[in-house]
Structure 1
Amino acid sequence: MKRIMATLFGLLVVPAGLASDPIAVRTTAQAEASMLITGWALIETDGSVSAVELDQREKLPTGVVSLVEEAGLGWQFEPVEVDGVARKAKARMSLRVVARKAGADGYEVRIGSGFFGEAATSEDEKRPDFVKSLKRRTPAYPDVVLKAGVRGTVYAIVKVGRLGTVEEAFIEQVDLRAFRTGNEMKRLRDALASSTLSAVKAWTFRLPVEGKHADAENWTVRIPVDYAFYGDPMPKYGEWDAYVPGPKRKAPWITEQQDDHQSPDSLVAGEVYGVGDGLRLLTPLQPGGG
């Protein structure tokens, strides 16, 4: 019998044929279709945006490109300062674009959430100002979720102490790629959350030795975790993926001063995000938005 395990960053390795059944997620009141897109925002010294550069622009729907590029030119950020002097900046961004059925034949498309700033990726292994994961324990795919044939994404947030170990861990959100009844979806989300918590609590981290956070008493980072099946067709970049977003919760140790107001579902699995490292957007993601 093949061993069933989740890979923390990417696809889950399980026997082929256990992919989720085709449920009409898009027709439910709670369901949305979304895509996660990435790129860069060019920020001027006054915090305004002079240009938006989308990754693999040719793979994105024309309407999505227009929506993001037009909205981006209206963004206003808190100016980026270096040694007290405002500087131009090129900020890495990831955006979750959401489509929701509106009326009999149409869809409402909006920018649901966004992140602007750097994240700790494998390319940043030697950067001394990032919190970087060292030892990772991979979460197991819960039996109840496996048997239900459901994919999902879990957004964990952890507090890292000065020994590089996890002092506290919390699940901010669990999104499912299938629709079930309310009680069943809660059971599936709880199972994914429990498995993820058990894994990330055993992680260890390399601490920053330079930069503004080097002398902190602790550090808080976000860890997005994907659960999926080997052999299950996954949406490619620029393709819509149907999902049911879960409730958003706030970690109990995050104060208003620490809250960076970043939405976890705009983060890309495979990276570690330091809370407070992102740029602060002062305006809505799109005109008329919140």
Structure 2
Amino acid sequence: MNVRFGALGVAGVLLLAAPVWASAAVSNGSVASVRQQVESSMLVGGDVHIEQDGTVSGVVLRQEEKLPEGVVKLVRDTALQWRFEPIVVDGRTVKAIAPMSLRVVARKVEGGSYEVSLRGVSFQKSETTDPHAVTAMEMAPPRYPELAYQSGATGDVYLLVKVGSDGKVEDAFAEQVNLTFLSREADQRRFREVLAKSAVSAAKRWTFRVPTAGEEATQPYWNVRVPVSYAIQLAGGSQRPETYGRWRSYVAGPRERAPWRSESQEAGSAPDTLAEGGVYMADRNTGPRLLTPLQGG
């Protein structure tokens, strides 16, 4: 299910700034051509109420009052069409309430309006005390790369981290880097590499608590996903304002697969639906299984 918004319904989606050194000439690889790749999105959180037969009886959106009316309608109308694999506890089907994180994406179309659709969904939450899950111990944030900071380069790096049985990181990989500034295509590639290298370097020094209960405790290693955001502080040292319920513009980078992962392991995964600041198990299905298409219908 896609919906159309007028330009005012997606106010501010194209507010990405271009560094002063970037050329604005309209040519292949120029700032102008990169601008055409810009999309805007927001993460919408909430809960879905699942009946014993797997149908959805209700949707509760987090801070609904902060969300655009059209987004609320799109998410609620779509989610009510979903059907899940029935949830079984102790041999019988039960009702359940599952956490939900959705990425809603807006792209400009002909006529100046915006097409809004759902890109991905996660029914997983970040665990902090679950003995079946990998949880954080020491996760010092990466230092902002000087070149990126001086150039005003900002963005989000979506990491896949391989955690060994001793809780130390065996490997880390940037699955995707979305940049929240405009520049020439060559500079976009350069700064994706700069931010990815910085995030991966920091991740390799992190430590985690590994699972101590259940089947997960016997694994030789675990994969977790960690979103990392690079945002320059505002004047006076304050952080960027709360963005929940507001469109955020970016140039989406290509999705890459970690060398130790197979295509089948990555099927259906959507790293950019995970909220910043959490640690998410990549292979442990802690959420319900959606049987119908994400977009409904």
The TM tier, using the shorter chain, reads 0.7 to 0.9
Q: 1:182 aligns with which of 185, 193, 200?
A: 185
Give, in whole Å, the separation in 2 of the partners of 1:138 and 1:233: 17
Equivalent residue runs for 1:192-207 within 5 Å: 192-207=195-210
Contact 2:79-2:296 within 8 A present in 1 as well? no
Give, in whole Å, the separation in 1 of the partners of 2:34 and 2:143: 31
Structure-2 residue corresponding to 1:114: 121
1:215-249 CA-to-partner distances (Å, cap 9, x unmatched) read 22211100000110111744521111111111111
Contact 1:31-1:245 within 8 A present in 2 as well? yes
1:57-94 CA-to-partner distances (Å, cap 9, x unmatched) read 11100000000000001112233223443322211111
Give, in whole Å, the separation in 2 of the partners of 1:62 and 1:203: 40
Structure-2 residue corresponding to 1:148: 151
**How high is the sequence identity, in percent, across the aligned residues?**
45
Give, in whole Å, the separation in 2 of the partners of 1:262 and 1:219: 16
SS in 2 for 1:214: helix
Give, in whole Å, the separation in 2 of the partners of 1:230 and 1:185: 21
Structure 2: runs of 5+ lacking an equivalent: 1-14, 19-30
Q: Go from structure 1 to structure 2 and tell me whether the alpha carbon gap of 1:282 and 1:46 turns closer, same or farther (over 3 Å shift).
A: same
Structure-2 residue corresponding to 1:63: 70
Structure-1 residue corresponding to 2:110: 103
Contact 2:42-2:103 within 8 A present in 1 as well? yes
Question: What root-mean-square deviation, in Å, do the aligned CA atoms of Structure 1 and Structure 2 show?
Answer: 2.2
TM-score, normalization: structure 2? 0.83
TM-score, normalization: structure 1? 0.84
Q: Go from structure 1 to structure 2 and tell me whether the alpha carbon gap of 1:85 and 1:258 turns closer, same or farther (over 3 Å shift).
A: farther
SS in 1 for 2:266: coil
Q: Go from structure 1 to structure 2 and tell me whether the alpha carbon gap of 1:81 and 1:256 turns closer, same or farther (over 3 Å shift).
A: farther
Runs of 4+ in 1 over 6 A off after TM superposition: 24-27
Structure-2 residue corresponding to 1:160: 163
1:184-241 CA-to-partner distances (Å, cap 9, x unmatched) read 0000000000000000011111011123412222111000001101117445211111
Contact 2:82-2:296 within 8 A present in 1 as well? no
Give, in whole Å, the separation in 1 of the partners of 2:55 and 2:262: 28
Give, in whole Å, the separation in 2 of the partners of 1:48 and 1:250: 33
Moved more, 183-192 or 162-171: 162-171
SS in 2 for 1:202: coil
Give, in whole Å, the separation in 1 of the partners of 2:164 and 2:240: 39
Q: Go from structure 1 to structure 2 and tell me whether the alpha carbon gap of 1:135 and 1:114 turns closer, same or farther (over 3 Å shift).
A: same
May I ask how many residue pairs the two structures share in their alignment?
265
Structure-1 residue corresponding to 2:99: 92
1:136-181 CA-to-partner distances (Å, cap 9, x unmatched) read 1321111221122122000000111111111121110000101211
Contact 1:159-1:168 within 8 A present in 2 as well? yes
Letter in 2 for 1:178: F
Structure 1: runs of 5+ lacking an equivalent: 1-19
Moved more, 179-188 or 235-244: 235-244
Q: 2:214 aligns with which of 206, 211, 216?
A: 211
Give, in whole Å, the separation in 2 of the partners of 1:26 and 1:111: 25
SS in 2 for 1:189: helix
Contact 1:25-1:243 within 8 A present in 2 as well? no
Give, in whole Å, the separation in 1 of the partners of 2:85 and 2:152: 44
Give, in whole Å, the separation in 2 of the partners of 1:284 and 1:193: 32
Structure-1 residue corresponding to 2:82: 75
Q: Go from structure 1 to structure 2 and tell me whether the alpha carbon gap of 1:27 and 1:171 turns closer, same or farther (over 3 Å shift).
A: closer
Contact 1:21-1:149 within 8 A present in 2 as well? no
Letter in 2 for 1:111: L
Letter in 2 for 1:229: I
Structure-2 residue corresponding to 1:50: 57
Q: 2:233 aligns with which of 230, 234, 245?
A: 230
Give, in whole Å, the separation in 2 of the partners of 1:224 and 1:179: 21
Shift of 1:26: 11
1:257-285 CA-to-partner distances (Å, cap 9, x unmatched) read 54362201111001100013343322222
Q: Go from structure 1 to structure 2 and tell me whether the alpha carbon gap of 1:129 and 1:139 turns closer, same or farther (over 3 Å shift).
A: same
Moved more, 133-142 or 274-283: 274-283
Moved more, 243-252 or 208-217: 208-217
SS in 1 for 2:232: coil
